[in-house]
Structure 1
Amino acid sequence: MAVIMALYFGKKREYGSEQPYILGPLKLRLPSIHYGMEFPDWIQGAILCVVPMSITAIMMDSLGIPFELAIAFVIINNFLYLLHTHFGDPSIAGWITAGIPLYVSFLAGFPEGDARIQALIALQLMVAFIFLFMGLFKGADTLVKKVPVSLKAGILLGAGMAAVYGQFAEGGRVWSMPITILTGAALGFFMMFSKTAAPLREKYGFFRYIAQFGIAVPFFIAYMFGIMIGEVTPPRIDWSFVSLPLGEIFATYSIFAVGMPPVEYFVQAFPLALAAYIIAFGDILVVNSLLKNADEVRKDEKLVFSPNRNSIICSIRNFFMGSFMPFLGLCGPQWTGGQVLVLNRYMHNSREQVDSYWGGATGLFWGMSIALMIGPIVTLFQPGVNIGMTLTMLIQGYICGYLAMTMLKTEGNLQKGIAAITGAVLASKGASWGLGVGIVLFLLLERNWVNLGRG
């Protein structure tokens, strides 16, 4: 019996096929059985714990949640990311990040205290319902396949421009420590995307070893440099473990503590929930394109991405967080920065070096989630949260930009023009305006109404 179980659980992947899994359609994969541990991704995740930590400041300001509880919200949310990679979704999940300023503005319209918590609960449950509807009725797959290229590229361009603009605008994170952040960005972009880095990886084992940690090394160098020049406050180390006061959280912030939001809260939240889904749809487009690129490079393994599966898992995460500990960043389909980090290491190594994508995809969040529970790590990197967040947002902007350009490479000027205007409006006026303008332009310019219906 033991031999049969070992063969069933631990069978090897055939060339060009999916990594083995169990439980049929659920596609459950278990560490050390269906894939190996990729410790470079664990280390990278541990260092990048500063990225999810950055939302604690916004939660403290907008919701009045103390840091000790806000970090617990972040830890639980981080562990929920593993639902994706353990149940057959290759996405490196994250927040619906670009909409955070919109959520903060929405919450500011409610009195501080329980009313504001209820407003966030209403928003997150509405987002959960939209994801569930799109996943169960295959709306996500249909959107990815049927949305015109001009609109897809416009959404990506807009998301990319918004990500970069938010960092460099007045009051943006770059200006909180400009020399430090720009140094980290320059190093990160050089190691991940430059023409020089690729031959260096092939020629020098040391550089190849350093490069596999993605932006973790550029972040660490910039962070230490920032401390040296005085832009970053030296950390004060706390040697205890981070506590998870779940009882206090449930008794203070859950739907069972503050009560079900009034119907009018759901009505007010609905337009913003739709806008949040539109933003999230851009992330679905990004992960779909990135994984297709990976399949072209690593032909030994097939990565199957289902927008419907992704949407259902996003729905589960939003329902859980919205009910028990409403999370200001919401639960989205992808973290572009993390996705690129894992895929870069996966694509730049052979099967002998990195057997399967799933080891790195799960390892990043295991490393990050565990690091968030270790007091010395959290307090060591806490002064550098702006560096980590800015690096990931700039990478998101870069990736969204080049994926949009790739989509438009074979298209005509009409589609390129629609994409440019859609992206600019989305970046400046928000997702609802951007999509609305894009649809109107598509119907007016790209749709041929004279020959409509002719075979």
Structure 2
Amino acid sequence: MGLYRKRNDGGEQPYVLGPLKFRLPFIHYKFEYPDWIQGAILCVVPMGITAVMMDVLGIPFELAIAFVIINNFLYLLHTHFGDPSIAGWITAGIPLYVGFLTGFPEGEARILALIALQLTVALLFLLMGIFKGADMLIKRLPISLKAGILLGAGFAAIFGEFSPNGRVWTMPITILLGAAFGFFMMFSKTAEPLRKRYSLFRYIAQFGIAIPFAISYLIGMLIGEVKIPEIAWNIVPVPIGEIISNYSVFGIGFPPFEYFMKALPLAIAAYIIAFGDILVVSSLIDQANEVRKDEKIVFSASRNSIIVSIRNFLQGIFMPYLPLSGPQWTGGQVLVINRYMNNGRKQVDSYWGGATGIFWGMSIALMLGPIVTLFKPGINIGMALTMLIQGYLCGYLAMEVLKEKGNLEKGIAVIIGAVLASKGAAWGLGVGIILWLLLEKNWVKDMKEDSSETKTA
């Protein structure tokens, strides 16, 4: 650790390359083994998308896993270049993407449609990043709309898991036990004093939902809800040549212009959904800065948007990825931030060690055949726990945003959230803007101010 560069108390973690804020492991942040282990166990979460890719795009499991591995390494662009976000998919829109793609003939046409969608999303993020549109939205978006988007994302996550076809009912005892253990470890009033009093509990709690997942997974196998895994002892191959030949613009060509036009409305909806994740990560980083005064974590929505754009462009050109590339993985974000906030500098020196470590652990684990096959039967458990945590987190952050606001803002936020969850992002935002214009905006006051300014002039 002789190379490690320490920060000044209350300052930013050291970096190089000026505005790029490039950080290297062991030099600019320490190795945080709990986050590596947690990431390795939670590799089951990104594995969940392989079933959808196989069904909708006809991609075999072996190639789908390779897509997941490449996507996971791309997450590291964020934490290596100064963005504290624990990046992820634009998760809530996955049912919308599936519906869009199934409107095209099976085979190459669906791949081309996904390329068009992902490149359009990349362009939107790039424009919002370059022109600082995301930063402006965070500062100027009315509180009722911010809270409504957060509530809608939370409602959608919970509704999706408990719907008649939701993951909870595929293995109800296993998933609900895992959720109960996970919520207790991370959010209960009992857990905090236990962390302070018992070193063993504090040691277990630092692994977030990894331990609850492992316990519920074992119980699921014992009661017959989860299949016994068949272990394969190999390194998972990543056939770059085959991916480029069969799924990239260099292999199957560039999508026709009409595909981009069809994808545009959905790309806008995907950005609206993703904006909710930008709000979440911004709120969480603010909370972390309030708790840990020894380190300053700087979040820039513009930097985040530009890196998200780069990820979507790379994937759209070389390997279109069905869940798209989004600003944040809420479940992972809260795991890293909770551990960071609940421990002092002696135990967790810097936020960046954990934020980067969770994806190093996950990405390497996805390349190991024994780990992939061990956790393959637990795909639904990992995805369900992630979505339930996202629902809880979005809900309480929305309440926090509205804490000092009146009944008017709270009522508008609830309506926005309900419409967004039931009718989609575009409907939710549209209803929210109309309600803000009709109810919140004081047109009389604005007219008086305009009139007085005119007289003064």
**C-alpha separation in 1, matches of 2:185 and 2:270:** 32
Task: Say yes or no: does 1:295 pair with 2:285.
Answer: no
Task: Say yes or no: does 1:166 pair with 2:168.
Answer: no
In structure 2, give the amino acid aligned to 1:240.
Answer: N
User: Superposition RMSD on alpha carbons, in Å?
Assistant: 1.0
Task: Say yes or no: does 1:398 pair with 2:398.
Answer: no
Match in the other structure for 2:307: 313
Counterpart pick for 1:94 among 88, 94, 116: 88
Cα deviation code 1:90-142 (max 9, x no counterpart): 00000000000000000000001111100000000000000000000000100
Task: Say yes or no: does 1:135 pair with 2:122.
Answer: no
In structure 1, give the amino acid aligned to 2:176.
Answer: L
SS in structure 1 opposite 2:420? helix
In structure 2, give the amino acid aligned to 1:80.
Answer: L
Deviation at 1:453, TM superposition (A): 4.6
Task: Say yes or no: does 1:156 pair with 2:145.
Answer: no
Task: Give the conservation status (yes or no) of the 8 Å contact 2:5–2:29.
Answer: no
Task: Say yes or no: does 1:417 pair with 2:429.
Answer: no
Match in the other structure for 2:249: 255
Equivalent residue runs for 1:24-423 within 5 Å: 24-423=18-417
Deviation at 1:258, TM superposition (A): 1.3
SS in structure 1 opposite 2:288? helix
In structure 1, give the amino acid aligned to 2:268.
Answer: L
Deviation at 1:15, TM superposition (A): 1.0
SS in structure 1 opposite 2:298? coil
**C-alpha separation in 2, matches of 1:116 and 1:87:** 33
Deviation at 1:257, TM superposition (A): 1.1
In structure 2, give the amino acid aligned to 1:123.
Answer: L
Cα deviation code 1:144-193 (max 9, x no counterpart): 11100000000000000000100000110000000000000000000000
**C-alpha separation in 2, matches of 1:20 and 1:426:** 41
**C-alpha separation in 1, matches of 2:86 and 2:106:** 33
**C-alpha separation in 2, matches of 1:136 and 1:10:** 33
Match in the other structure for 1:3: none
**C-alpha separation in 1, matches of 2:127 and 2:429:** 20
Match in the other structure for 1:444: 438
> Runs of 4 or more off by more than 4 Å in structure 1?
none
**C-alpha separation in 2, matches of 1:388 and 1:28:** 31
Over the matched positions of the two proteins, sequence identity in percent amounts to 74
Deviation at 1:11, TM superposition (A): 3.5
Deviation at 1:454, TM superposition (A): 3.9
Deviation at 1:450, TM superposition (A): 1.4
Task: Return the TM-score normalized by structure 2.
Answer: 0.97
**C-alpha separation in 2, matches of 1:454 and 1:183:** 59
Q: Structure 1 unaligned runs (5+)?
A: 1-5
SS in structure 2 opposite 1:236? coil
**C-alpha separation in 1, matches of 2:52 and 2:193:** 41
Instruction: Report how many residues are paired.
Output: 449
**C-alpha separation in 1, matches of 2:401 and 2:336:** 22
**C-alpha separation in 1, matches of 2:397 and 2:44:** 27
Deviation at 1:10, TM superposition (A): 4.4
**C-alpha separation in 2, matches of 1:226 and 1:255:** 43
**C-alpha separation in 2, matches of 1:454 and 1:25:** 44
Q: Structure 2 unaligned runs (5+)?
A: 450-457
SS in structure 2 opposite 1:81? helix
